[in-house]
Amino acid sequence: MVDRYECKLSAELFKKAVRDLNEPEDNEVRLAAIDRLRVRFKESVGDVEKTRTDDAFLLRFLRVRKFNEDAAYKSLCNYHNQRIKGWKDLYDLVDDPRSLKTLAATGPLLPLQNARARDGTFVILVRPGHGFTDKKDMLRLFAILVRTLEYLLENEEFQIYGLTVVEDLANFGLGSALQMSSYGKKFIHMLQEAMPIRVKSVNMVNEALVFDIIYAVVSRFLKDKMKKRLQLHGSSCDKIHEMIDPAHLPQFLNGTGPDPDGEWLISEILGLKECDTEI
């Protein structure tokens, strides 16, 4: 018999889930919503072999849509379609972490391992263009991001508190912009419509003219809610320091924290050892 979900959230986290996500206080009500989502998904999709349907996984989609079951069902189907056929080039890389190791080691994406923003959200630092040597590196960066989000989603606190993103665009040149223009629409759709994550804030620093050009294109696909959560900071990190203690941030964000490296991401999130090399 498959184990059913049992709520083990702390009192504080449970209260936040009820208040912010419309989480049912009664576990039987929660399980009934999960069961309805599972039945509906299996009946409409049929072959769900590559998409999990356990309680904990389905609960992510209910939470991200504040227990609106129709919206959760739509997000789950979008996730499944992206995974199976919607963006094969991306998920081929997601499923082959060895192909991501070299780029990951240069540190274009750095989840803060032991620190949060002041509002409790988890933090990911992104440096698009940093370490790029190949025309497919933007796609590899997206694949590393997907692996990271899937890893973080195993943590219920991440599901409930959500995510703060800080992007340093100092290395975002024309080559990166051209790659982004090829993948931007798909990436935004995945982030907004398929991944069961709560993006609470996206912060850009050191954005250049080339970013403005790309933003003019991709902003057409951003929901109003996401547009309001995207902040441009120029060359100043002052507002970012108001959100995140600079003691947790590296020098490239004017912080006093340790220099970042991709070791934890490679070993824990990509699941690779030193002997695992690209083929």
Q: Where are the domains of the chain?
A: 11-86, 93-269
State the pLDDT confidence band at 275, using cuts at 50, 70 and 90.
low
Per-residue model confidence (pLDDT) at position 9: 96
Report the percentage of the chain scoring pLDDT > 90.
Answer: 73
State the pLDDT confidence band at 192, using cuts at 50, 70 and 90.
very high
pLDDT tens for 226-270 read: 889 999 999 999 999 999 999 999 999 999 998 877 889 999 999
Indicate the CATH number for domain 93-269: 3.40.525.10
Q: Is the pLDDT of residue 26 over 90?
A: yes
* 181-200: average pLDDT: 90
pLDDT tens for 239-248 read: 999 999 999 9
Indicate the CATH number for domain 11-86: 1.10.8
Per-residue model confidence (pLDDT) at position 67: 98
Per-residue model confidence (pLDDT) at position 108: 96
Cα–Cα distance for residue pair 228/223, rounded to 1 Å: 9
Per-residue model confidence (pLDDT) at position 204: 93
Q: Is the pLDDT of residue 29 over 80?
A: yes
Per-residue model confidence (pLDDT) at position 83: 87
Report the percentage of the chain scoring pLDDT > 70.
Answer: 96
State the pLDDT confidence band at 159, using cuts at 50, 70 and 90.
very high
State the pLDDT confidence band at 278, using cuts at 50, 70 and 90.
low
Per-residue model confidence (pLDDT) at position 258: 85
pLDDT tens for 61-75 read: 999 999 999 999 999
